[in-house]
Amino acid sequence: MSLPEFKLLRPRTLAEAVDLLGKHSDVQIVAGGTDLIPSLKQRLFTPPYVLDIRRITELRGTRKVPGQGTEIGALTTLTEIERSDYVRSDYPVLCGAAKTVASPILRNMGTLGGNICLDTRCLWYNQSLTWRTSCGFCIKKDGDLCHVAPGGTKCWAVFSGDTPAALLCLDAEVEIAGPAGTRRVALRDFYTNVGDARMNLTKNEMVTRVFLPERTAGYHGVYRKLRLRGSIDYPLAGVAVALKRSNGHVEDARVAITAVNPAPLLVRGVEKELAGKPVTEENAAAVGELAARTAKPLTTSALTPEYRREMIRVFAKRAVLEAARK
């Protein structure tokens, strides 16, 4: 499949990139390109301009800021995150999630920013133009109906990135830059849970950095994921757990799920279930139940919604027990 025609813009600095975003209203950002390039080939996007941000060196790398936490540039590759000694020791849940993304070659190219901003996926959408033309277009692109929830007006395409579930557990924030300036938002407020408008980002804004607070450094973390091919696939259900213990009791805990809703979501009620107590089979199972109730899988993906929800329950329980043993 060939690429559609577009004009490639290649800024070398963030200021130049922001300037270009201000000048062109219909720009598609490309970072590692591991998700965007196949989508362009499938004609899911036909933008007149593509903004290649890979040359912006100031957006690469991981930096520990004493007293504040860790700052990760949006262009930092998933391989760099997986191999960073202090991400592994301070934020193990992020390292665990990063190393399950796709395959080693894709992680060498794929960036953290691209993983956070990943487009939502659906079996009826991530197809070639020929396939979509013969089957009928849908709300997400060029149509007005949903094959997954007929009669509805909402797109339920599923968020299928791994690292955002881990980042939610760590209370991460993202920095966003655009012609109107720079702002910082909590990752939990970044996603909309709407499949065809997945994030609170305007057309002329980009994600520039991720901040991990010092407060969550050292939390024990586990990431578990269901996928078809163990060596390369997107998650069909994913669970991240981060918890802090003291004297055998849970001091703080968070669980987030991905690949079963149009956004990665924190599971509510986990802290109440675990805080101040030792982790037991019973309260880990209760957390699994809360996670399964938060999951709303539909027929957007391979495997049945029932199985994917059940695996969220099973993974959440196992991940809580495993995190408590660390």
Ligand X SMILES: Cc1cc2nc3c(=O)[nH]c(=O)nc-3n(C[C@H](O)[C@H](O)[C@H](O)COP(=O)(O)OP(=O)(O)OC[C@H]3O[C@@H](n4cnc5c(N)ncnc54)[C@H](O)[C@@H]3O)c2cc1C
Q: How far apart are CA 122 and CA 284, in angstroms?
A: 31
77 is a site residue for ligand SF4 (CB under 6 A) = no
CB neighbourhood size of 23 (10 A): 12
**Residue 207 or 243 with smaller CB distance to ligand X:** 207
Token match 């495997």: residue?
Answer: 303
What's the min distance (Å) between Cβ of 147 and ligand SF4?
Answer: 4
Token match 């390039």: residue?
Answer: 37
Identify the residue among 72, 118, 148, 291 touching ligand X (CB under 6 A).
118
Q: Which does 162 bind (CB under 5 to 8 A by kind): ligand X, ligand SF4, none?
A: ligand X
Q: Which does 44 bind (CB under 5 to 8 A by kind): ligand X, ligand SF4, none?
A: none
What's the min distance (Å) between Cβ of 293 and ligand SF4?
Answer: 21
- In what helix (H) or strand (E) does residue 73 lie, and over which residues does it extend? strand 69-73
Which amino acid, one-letter code, is at 30? V
Token match 């933008």: residue?
Answer: 47
Query: Where are the alpha helices (H) located in 189-304, listed in sequence order?
Result: 270-274, 281-294
Which amino acid, one-letter code, is at 65? V
Window 149-178: contact mask with ligand SF4 (x via CB under 6 A): ------xxx---------------------
CB neighbourhood size of 276 (10 A): 9
Q: Which does 156 bind (CB under 5 to 8 A by kind): ligand X, ligand SF4, none?
A: ligand SF4
What's the min distance (Å) between Cβ of 33 and ligand X?
Answer: 5
Q: Which does 300 bind (CB under 5 to 8 A by kind): ligand X, ligand SF4, none?
A: ligand SF4
Q: Shortest CA distance to 132 belongs to which of 121, 120, 142?
A: 142
Identify the residue among 59, 148, 169, 292 touching ligand SF4 (CB under 6 A).
148
237 is a site residue for ligand SF4 (CB under 6 A) = no
What's the min distance (Å) between Cβ of 34 and ligand X?
Answer: 3
Residue 160 CA: distances (Å) to CA of 41, 153, 215, 231, 237 = 19, 21, 27, 16, 8
79 is a site residue for ligand X (CB under 6 A) = no
Q: In what order do the strands lie in the sheet containing 27-30?
A: 7-9, 49-52, 27-30
Segment interacting with ligand SF4 (CB under 6 A) among 47-55, 84-92, 134-142, 219-227: 134-142
| Interior angle at CA 180, CA 176 and CA 185, nearest 5 | 30
Binding site for ligand X (CB under 6 A): 28-36, 38, 74, 78, 101-102, 106, 109-111, 113-115, 117-119, 161-162, 206-207, 232-235
Binding site for ligand SF4 (CB under 6 A): 122, 124-125, 138-140, 146-148, 155-157, 195, 300
